[in-house]
Amino acid sequence: MSLPKFELDPAIGLSEIKLGTSLYTMLHQLSHLHLQVSYSPPPDVLIDPISLTIKKYGIRMTFDPSRQLLIKIELLDLGKLEVSYKGKPIRDKGLRTLYDHYIGPTYPGSFHDGAYVLSYPGVSFRFEMKREWLSQLESKKDDKELLEWLLEMNPRATSIAVHRYDKWLPGANKDGENLRARLDDIERLCSGDIEVDKLISYGDGKVLVKLFKHPSLKELKLVLKESMQQDILADLGPPDEVFTKNDSRTLIHSSSSKSLGSNSASVFHNYFRFGFDLLYTTERTGAVLSKVIIHNNLPTSVMFGKYAKCYWEYSKGKLSLASSRIHVKPNEMRFLQIWNPRVI
């Protein structure tokens, strides 16, 4: 039985699995496979990365916690698949072969936790060390001497990581500080004609939709009780689903039936791909925007995977008071209340 084939593309991805893809997109793209989602328990789930594993192929994907974009792809079991580089299968995974024939000379690697990690821009190889080698490794004076000795020993690569850096920091999956230091470099990979970057709420019924990709707009201003449905549809396109007020699933977003007006008709436009819902109330002049509901796509939520995570900020003037990007330690999060969904 032949092994599944994957093309290694440093700093880009692994075949159709591309860095910068959102967790929402990847969950739907790989829905035909058995996937395992791993995350930290609350409250660390807000600040620690999320992992998505294809157990059948031994592929693990790591997503940053604030934007849920793919930042690292790991091949944990090289015996489960066939990896190619520039169209050439990597059959011999020995250090000497990889160094001489596939990637070429690079910076010397480093030794961490019983393994040797050799990094190139966009890709890293991990080599497990034999127990009898460990005492000899300690005598090597520097990384260059260590690499020369290992080329003679020719250990086999046991895993490969694809990323967007010159090298991957050891423990980046576990160390939130290491990970968050690199999040500014994450570049989103677009999956549609329109991509929302973030929503900024000013607390006065005004919401600014920053657009990452759009045929003609860079941002869209929404004003509660003023913005009209037909104008928003023209700018954002059709919703993924539509619910009427009478649908029981909309009741969780209404504090009381009176709040929507007893004689008004209401409808929800659910934008799963953007991570938010828009509630319209029908008036004489047409359907007007009355609420914006933001979804955080937390793994602990029963709605996890249905919505993309919406990156949001809450601001007063030019001052940002809170956002979905968390840079605080769990014991400093007492003043932050994170809802899923969050209602503006």
pLDDT above 50 (res 256): no
Domain assignment present for residue 322? The answer is no
Name the residue range of residue 106's domain.
Answer: 5-188
How would residue 263 be classed by pLDDT, with cut points 50, 70 and 90? low
How far, in Å, CA of 162 to CA of 139, rounded?
31
92 and 206 in a single domain? The answer is no
**79: its two tokens:** 């015996």
Say whether pLDDT at 329 is over 50: no
Regarding whether 200 and 274 lie in a shared domain, the answer is: yes
Identify the top-confidence range among 27-31, 192-196, 254-258, 336-340. 27-31
Ranges 26-35, 57-66, 126-135, 330-339: which has the least confidence: 330-339
Q: Are 168 and 159 in contact (CB under 8 A)?
A: no
Residue 200 has pLDDT above 80, yes or no: yes
Q: What mean pLDDT value characterizes the chain?
A: 81
Do 91 and 162 fall within a single domain? yes
Task: Determine what percent of the chain is predicted with pLDDT higher than 90.
Answer: 45
Q: Which of 258, 286, 281 is nearest to 269 (CA)?
A: 281
pLDDT for 336 beyond 60: no
Position 256 in a domain: no
Task: Examine residue 259 and state whether it is found in any structural domain, yes or no.
Answer: no
What is the pLDDT, as a whole number, of residue 45? 85
- Considering the domain architecture, whether residues 155 and 227 belong to the same structural domain is answered as no
**One domain, residues 204 and 183:** no
Q: 142 vs 111, 147, 171, 214, CA distance in Å?
A: 11, 9, 22, 51
Residue 138's identity, in one-letter code, is E
Count CB-CB contacts under 10 A for residue 344: 19
Number of domains in the chain: 2
Please report how many Cα atoms fall inside a 13 Å half-sphere around the Cα of residue 116, on the Cβ side: 27
pLDDT in the model for residue 146: 78
